[in-house]
Amino acid sequence: MRIMAILRKELRQLSRDRLTGGMIVGMPLLQLILFGYAINTDVRDLRTGVVDMSGTQLSRQVTADLAVSQVMDLVMQAETPEQLTAALRRGEISLGVFLPRDFDRRVIQRDRPAGQILVDGTDPTITSVANQLRQFPIRFDSQARPGGSAGPAASFEVRTYFNPERRSAVNVVPGLLGTILTMTMVMFTAVAIVREKERGNMELLITTPISRGELMVGKILPYILIGLVQVALILAVARWVFQVPFVGSLLDIYLAAMLFILANLTLGLMISTFVGTQFQAMQLAFFVFLPSILLSGFMFPFDGMPRLAQWIAEILPLTHFLRLVRGVMLRGAELSELGPDLLALAVFAAVTLTLAILRFSKRLD
């Protein structure tokens, strides 16, 4: 079996290539740990500025309570809300607490939020922390409650600056699974073919009876295995280190991932037929990677994108994989309910593989 010959040879070479071997394990781990900062909501000592316009005993009490909560580190006392937003913009503080002139009255009447917390929304971690602060209890020691006894507790209003869409931490893991696979898988097959061209191995290989299909499929199979290893690694870290809940079936997640891996590998093969050097292959892989990150719904919500961007996104495997894995992992959907996205990935893989085989030439010219 020629396919098995290629498969065995690829795996053998990989096992000897320490750098690539290290990347296979190291890259997903590193990415996850780096992003884990975003996933980890247990954040402390955010630099905070305070504007207390009321200056009452109650407002000073609330400020002191916030300071001892360990979430905030009060680094700035401002005079006006404008100073607060300016400091926020300059990045000097991540949170701003605004207590209005009528703070006491608002706490008592509870008709409007008692105060505001201004949030630097560019950092999702901070956003999620601020959302928890919404529930920060405001004790009002003088017991007078003219407005009745059963009203809701006084609370803060949270204003997110710069990033009105608040992403939940859990959402990051499926997205990360998809982006890491895109980043590694496309590159693997693109480079695996081009490296042989560069090193001169291809000239010998295409002078043997091996068929184009055998060569292409033989190049894909080993990397499916490697992709699944990466998936297992990422899921394990997500589950045990970051406590991301898996609502749906693990088997479904793996099946979706396998199809997605295949689509990326065949895309890599197709890329390899357009380029002559590993450097070009990487550039082209990156050219695919960027729109995947931006348009797939990993960065920005899909529904908010312009129509054209959505059309482009529908071509990208990552878009469909994100829908699949979010559906299965977070909403507990069954794969059978997500047919269109499965079909899209399968068609993408079939088309790119066919193109790769047709475009690959057993000639040098």
Q: Which residues bind other proteins (CB under 8 A)?
A: 1-2, 4-6, 8-9, 12-13, 16-17, 199-210, 362-365
Shortest distance (Å) from residue 293 CB to other proteins: 33
Q: Which is nearer to other proteins, 106 or 219 (CB)?
A: 219
CA distance 123 to 197: 44
Instruction: Between 152 and 200, name the residue whose CB sits nearer to other proteins.
Output: 200
| Distance of closest approach, residue 210 Cβ to other proteins, in angstroms | 5
Token pair 């740990």 in the structure block, residue: 33
Decide whether 4 or 247 has the Cβ nearer to other proteins. 4
Of the pair 239, 362, the CB lying nearest other proteins is at: 362
Task: Tell me the C-alpha distance between 59 and 228, whole Å.
Answer: 55
* Shorter beta-carbon distance to other proteins: residue 197 or 326: 197
Whether 231 contacts 177, CB under 8 Å: yes
- Give yes or no for a contact between 218 and 10, defined as CB atoms under 8 angstroms apart: yes
For the bound state, the minimum distance from the C-beta of residue 360 to other proteins, rounded and expressed in Å, comes to: 14
Of 180, 229, 227, the C-alpha closest to 32 is 180
Separation between Cα atoms, residue 53 and residue 245, nearest integer Å: 43
Q: In the numeric block, which tokens belong to residue 19?
A: 């750098």
Alpha carbon distances (Å) from 190 to 209, 226, 286:
23, 15, 11
Q: Nearer to other proteins by C-beta: 112 or 199?
A: 199
In terms of CB distance, is 11 or 53 closer to other proteins? 11
CB of 198 to other proteins, least distance (A): 11
Q: How far is the CB of 278 from other proteins (least distance, A)?
A: 15
Tell the residue number behind the tokens 């901070």, with chain if given: 126
Shortest distance (Å) from residue 270 CB to other proteins? 22
Residue 134: CB minimum distance to other proteins, A:
58
Alpha-carbon distances, residue 240 vs 34, 115, 233, 257 (angstroms)? 16, 38, 11, 19
Q: Any idea which residue has 């407002």 for tokens? A: 59
CB of 216 to other proteins, least distance (A): 14
The kind and range of the H/E element at 95 are strand 95-99
Of 210 and 346, the one with the shorter C-beta distance to other proteins is: 210
DSSP 241: T
Sheet holding 95-99, edge to edge: 72-78, 46-52, 95-99, 115-120, 156-161
Which value, in Å, is the radius of gyration of the alpha carbons in the chain? 27
